[in-house]
Every structure is written in C-alpha cells, then in structure tokens.
Amino acid sequence: MWLIRITMFVVILPSLALMFLPLSNVPAAAGYYGIEPADVQYAVLVYYAGYTAFFILEKRFFSYLAAKEYFFVFTILQIITSYACYHTQNLVVLLLIRFIQGMGLASTGNLGMSIIFNRIGTERGRVVSYTVYFGMLVCMIPFNNFVTADLIDSFDFNVIYKLAVFAYLPGLILLGVTMNNVRLNIKFPLYLLDWPSFLLFSYFLCALGYLVVYGQERYWLEDRGICVAALTGAFSVLTFIIRQVHLKRPYFNPGVFKYRNFMVGGVVLFTLYLCRFTLNFSSAFFSSAFGFDPAHVSYMNLLNILGIAVGALISWALLVQHRPIRLIWIYGFSVLLAFHIWMYSLFSLHGEPHAYFIPLFLHGFGVGLLIAPTIIFMVAAVPVKMVDTSAGICLFVRCLGFYVSIALINYFDLLNRGKHLNALKEQFTAVNPLVRQNILKQTKNFVAHGVYKKQAAGAAGRQVTKQLMLNAQLRSAMDYYAMIIGLILLTLIFVAWVPYINRTIVRLRKNQPAPI
C-alpha cells in the first residue's frame, strides 16, 4: 500500500515542481530567454491557467483510458514538453508549452490522487493523502529555490528543465513495475466533449493573467494590448457563464453557489492565498537588505518548509479528531497575523538574519495548518453529484488568489514604491545638511578604501541613491503587510462572528474525490 502511495507522489511531484519553476530565479530566467521579468511571471500564470481550465475536461479522458496507459501518455507528454523548454528560447513557444504542462499536472495529479483514494478505506488515511498533497503544493516555491539555486549559479537556466526530464524517469519505472492495465471507471467514449467551454475558460484565465502581470507597468487601459485583453477576456467569461446556465451538462454546475458553506470556504481560501504569497516580499527583502544571493535566501526559506510540514501534521490531527473548522481557521489565521505583525516590525536595513527564523517558521505553520482543512471544507460542503464542480471552483479560487497576489505585488513594487521614492527624494535634497553629511561620510569611507577623491564623491552619491531605493522598497513592503494585517483581522472577525461555522465539522466521504 505504501509503495502505491510513494509511486503516485513520485509521479506527481515533478509536475508540481514545474508550476513555479521559472520563479526559482527570475533574473536568470529572463536573461536566458531574453525576456522581461514580467514575462517570467506570465509563464507561471499560463501554467496555472492550463492546470485550472483542463481540470473538468480531464475527467472524460480519465474515464476513457486505463490507469497505466493514462499515466504513461501524460507523463511522456510532460517529458517531451520539458525537453522542448530546455531547447526553445522563443517566448510564444515557451508559453504554449507551459500551458500544456499545466494540463498535464491536472491529468497526472487527478488520477494519482484518485488511485490513492480508491486504495484507502479509512477516513484517517484519506486525510493523510489530502494533507500530504496540499503540503507538497504549498512547499513548491521554497523547495524549487533550494533545489535549483546552486544549479542555476553553475549552469544556464535551462538546465533545470533537463533535470525535470530525468525527474520523471523514476516515476515511469515504478509505474511500469507496480501497475496493471485496470480501469477505475467504466470506459466512456470521447465524444460530445465541451471544447468550447474549455477554450473560453482558458482564454479568460490567460487574458486575466495578462492584465495582472502587464497592466501596472503599461498604465492599464492606456495600452492597446491591455484594452484588447480586457475586452476579449470579458467577452469570453460572459459567453462562458451564459453557456453554463443554458447547457444541459455544464462545464461547471452553477448549483454549487447555492451552498452557504461552499461560498464561505471560497472567501477563506482566497484570503489564505493572498497571505501565502506575502513571502515574496520577505525574500526580496533578504536579497536587497542583507545582500543574500538566491542560494542563501533558499536556505532561510527552509524554515518555511519546516513550518508547513508541522502545520500540515497538526491540521491532520485536528481533522481526524473532528474539531470544528472555525477553531482551525482561528488558529491558522492567528498564526499568520502574528507573522505579518512580526515581520512588519522587523523590516529594517539594520538587522540580523537569525531574527527572521521564527517568523518564517510561523508563516509556513499558518499556511500548512489552513490549506488542507479549507479545501476539504469547500468540497465537502456540496452533494456528491457536484463534487467535481466544487473541486474545479476550488482550484479556480486558488488560481484567482495567485493572480490577485501577483497584481498586488506588481502594484506595490512599481507604483507604491515609486511614490515612496519620490517622497524621500523631496526630503533628501542637496541643500539638506543631513544629506550633505551622509555624502561626505560615504566619500571619506571610499577614500579610506583606496578610491580617488574625484571618483569617491560620485560613488558616495550613488550609494545614497541606493539607500533611498532600499528605504522605498521597505516602506512599500510595510504598506503591503499592513494591508494584509487588516485583511486577516477582518477574516478573524468574520469567522468568529458567523455562528453556524462553529457547528461545522468536516468529514470525508469515501466517494469524495481529491480536490486538486
């Protein structure tokens, strides 16, 4: 039994790692492909779009092919696309391949979790599978950074895709040895597939991703490309919604939105994903304030992985004990609140790295404690006949949370930081005696280290400008964390105020699928 579980997770893990792989070193990825950092972000969003859009349609392929055949087809497809990413340097080709890879994750992940669930007869075992899968998912960014940091320093960025090709081979070998040609469901022919809904939903997600990545830097509707993406994206989502209302067998069953617990779970999950990606500002802070390279930042974030593991373990214990979901949410968001308040107070150009160890652990602990119970709560809130739609909407909420996080990060990194920088420049003028003293001090420091006096004055000016930019970045990060602190407080008040949540206990049914 454990060999089956290990095989499934070995097969799924490389596809999970591929999702956030370009973010492991954005400057290196942009430099290798000759693209902008925003293009690297968009490559990740396109992967998420393929993952989300194909989730429902994938069920039909899952019913048509035998399990072993299905795994081999999509795992080999992932190997081919990874090899293509290794060779290509064309942005359009890269984005297309990334979308296909996202579809591959939906396929292998869904079937792998379904096989595990079919082999598990106890609620305790199903909770373990959920917890391990979602724990792996939220670990991917720090895990990728840790695994690839030294590789990217020593080789070109594309070598990580060669590594991904070899990472699939152990899973293929285990599949060939352990699996038989059996079917989990009755074979259902591949006809009447709802390709129009899939294409409309896919285009909407890609257009929305384009808006959140490029909108801020191109001044939104002042750019023609942004206008086209906004209009066509709005048209595609409206057409998609109209189709779902009128189709006899809709892509997403609109009936799930009638269930109160499902809607509440969606709001909590969206908030959680906004909190999850605040760690990006912390990593950027370590790079700028302490001068850490990606490898040392990844070592710091190992504490975040440890926190996720501990939080996931405790969430498993609470779910098995059938503790109220309200209690789990209050515990988890209180920990995340403590992290953001603590980090807000630690943002400074002068500090010691060890002071951030406990906050990093707390962030991972809070995310690990919340992720599996919240998703299980959403899927368990609807009848069995709607669980596929519930799982698909749950995946969309996570995708939307990631999209909005990217939009907020870009806003605070571009516009908000620029506002702080301009305000600081107004205060630090050449006639300001404090500025003159600072420049004089920096000049003497450079001269003492062997720099010519004429060159030292220019270097001192550049050093002061660098300090201004760092201060603007810190103030922008503090603004972002202050906003998230307010959001967490509102979430805690909401969870504590809604009385029926206190009486809600999550129980896993045997016929409940994995909401990947």
DSSP structure string for 453-475: HHHHHHHHHHHHHHHHHHHHHHH
Angle, CA of 105, 270 and 497, to the nearest 5°: 145
Task: Return the pLDDT at 117.
Answer: 65
Give 1-190's CATH code, choosing from 3.10.310.10, 1.20.1250.20, 3.40.50.300, 3.90.550.10: 1.20.1250.20
Residue 120 has pLDDT above 70, yes or no: no
Fold match between 1-190 and 255-414+483-515?
Answer: yes
**Between 430 and 378, the higher pLDDT residue:** 378
Summarize pLDDT for 443-474 with one digit per residue, the tens: 766 666 666 666 666 666 666 677 777 878 88
Mean pLDDT of 247-268: 88
Mean pLDDT of 322-346: 92
Summarize pLDDT for 409-424 with one digit per residue, the tens: 888 887 777 776 777 6
Which percentage of the chain shows pLDDT scores above 90? 33
Q: Write the DSSP string, 469-501.
A: HHHHHHHHHHHHHHHHHHHHHHHHHHHHH-GGG
C-beta of residue 504 within 8 angstroms of C-beta of residue 326: yes
Angle, CA of 31, 32 and 37, to the nearest 5°: 45
Task: Return the pLDDT at 501.
Answer: 64
Q: Considering only 132-141, 283-292, 436-445, which range has the smallest mean pLDDT?
A: 436-445
What is the number of alpha carbons within 13 Å of residue 399 lying toward its C-beta? 29
Residue 18 has pLDDT above 60, yes or no: yes
Model confidence at 132, pLDDT cuts 50, 70, 90, reads confident
Residue 481 has pLDDT above 70, yes or no: yes
Task: Return the pLDDT at 1.
Answer: 61
For 100-138, letters b (16+ CB in 10 Å) and e give bbbbbbbbbbbbbbbbbbeebeeeebbbbbbbbbbbbbb
Q: Which amino acid is at 185?
A: N
**Of 314, 316, 289, the residue nearest 300 (C-alpha):** 289
Mean pLDDT of 176-198: 73
Residue 513 has pLDDT above 50, yes or no: no
Which helix (H) or strand (E) segment is 271 a member of?
helix 260-276
Residue 174 has pLDDT above 70, yes or no: yes
Q: Phi-psi region for residue 220, left (φ > 0), alpha (ψ -120 to 50) or beta?
A: left
**CA distances (Å), 455 to each of 253, 339, 347, 429, 463, in order?**
69, 44, 32, 20, 12
Q: Which residues contact 316 (CB under 8 A, 6 or more apart)?
A: 127, 128, 131, 372
Q: Sign of the C-alpha dihedral, residues 469, 475, 477, 480? A: negative
**Taking the domain 255-414+483-515, which CATH number applies?**
1.20.1250.20
Model confidence at 506, pLDDT cuts 50, 70, 90, reads low
Task: Return the pLDDT at 212.
Answer: 94
Where are the chain's structural domains?
1-190, 195-250, 255-414+483-515, 418-482
pTM of the model: 0.89
Residue 308 has pLDDT above 50, yes or no: yes
Residue 44 has pLDDT above 90, yes or no: yes
Mean pLDDT of 112-137: 72
Summarize pLDDT for 347-399 with one digit per residue, the tens: 887 778 888 899 999 999 999 999 989 988 888 888 888 888 888 899 999 99
Task: Return the pLDDT at 118.
Answer: 63
Task: Return the pLDDT at 25.
Answer: 86
Residue 37 has pLDDT above 70, yes or no: yes
Integer Cα distance of 145 and 317 in angstroms? 29
**Between 382 and 274, the higher pLDDT residue:** 274
**Between 115 and 108, the higher pLDDT residue:** 108
Task: Return the pLDDT at 515.
Answer: 45
Which percentage of the chain shows pLDDT scores above 70? 83
Q: Considering only 5-19, 217-231, 358-372, which range has the smallest mean pLDDT?
A: 5-19
* Average pLDDT over the chain, rounded to an integer: 83
Residue 514 has pLDDT above 50, yes or no: no
Integer Cα distance of 435 and 266 in angstroms? 50
Please tell me whether residue 450 adopts helix, strand or coil conformation. coil
